[in-house]
Structure 1
Amino acid sequence: MRRAYSLSATVRELQKFVPALATDDVERGPSGVRAQALSADGNLVEDFVFETVDTGDLKNRILHVRNAPSPAATSSLPIADMVVAKAKECFNL
């Protein structure tokens, strides 16, 4: 939490990866927005949410991944394995 408001604390953490980094090299920017699914009771959903189409022409042809919590991009290959396993289960592949 401290790094959220302390630029020097942020730079100290970053120096673990880039030792030559100085506070003058860094400037503040706007905070980002992290999309995260909520359950019906308002709690954060901490895992993937899969949904299939149950009717119409697309029945058993589409698998939606409704929630991909961080670090989804850095875990793309293991996530792909999980999506493939879920597709096999849902579509009897």
Structure 2
Amino acid sequence: MASYFDIDFKELWKAITYRGFQKLALQYVGFGLKEVLRSFFPRLQVSTLQQYVPEITASDIQRGPSGVRAQAMNIDGSLEDDFVFHRETQCELGCKILHCRNAPSPGATSSLAIAKMIADKCHVEFNLS
């Protein structure tokens, strides 16, 4: 299990020097600090959890692994909520390449809908009949 001190400093430096991250962090500094405190002191989460499960107590809380969700961020600090498409324009393959970035892991529930959206986007981008 990873610990708080399992840090890739090169990756951390790249993140904190990115202008978009700096803008986002400044905008949500209070929220971010509360989340850090809650991660170090899980008992601080109880009142928030009680909004959803009133019976929950500190003894019900157990430390577990943290999750990481990759999120595309723009230079202005705004987050991309959905798919970002980028058409390749300089290539030797006739430029029929469409990149899909920031694709959330949908599981089986929406994979067909996502495939249709990508197919529709290809029809528009590449003038397919």
Same fold per superposition (TM over 0.5): yes
- Interval containing the TM-score (normalised by the shorter chain): 0.5 to 0.7
Aligned to 2:84: 49
| TM-score, structure 1 as length reference | 0.64
Q: Which amino acid aligns with 1:84?
A: A
Aligned to 2:12: none
> With CA pairs under 8 Å and 6+ residues apart, which has the higher RCO, 1 or 2?
2
Q: Distance in 1 between matches of 2:94 and 2:88?
A: 5
- Unaligned runs of 5+ residues in structure 1 are 14-22
1:81 pairs with 2:128: no
Q: Distance in 2 between matches of 1:28 and 1:75?
A: 31
Structure number with the higher helix fraction is: 2
Q: CA RMSD in A?
A: 2.8
- Secondary structure of 2:86's counterpart equals strand
Runs of 4+ in 1 over 6 A off after TM superposition: none
Equivalenced residue count is 76
Residue identity over aligned pairs, in percent, reads 49
- Secondary structure of 1:83's counterpart equals helix
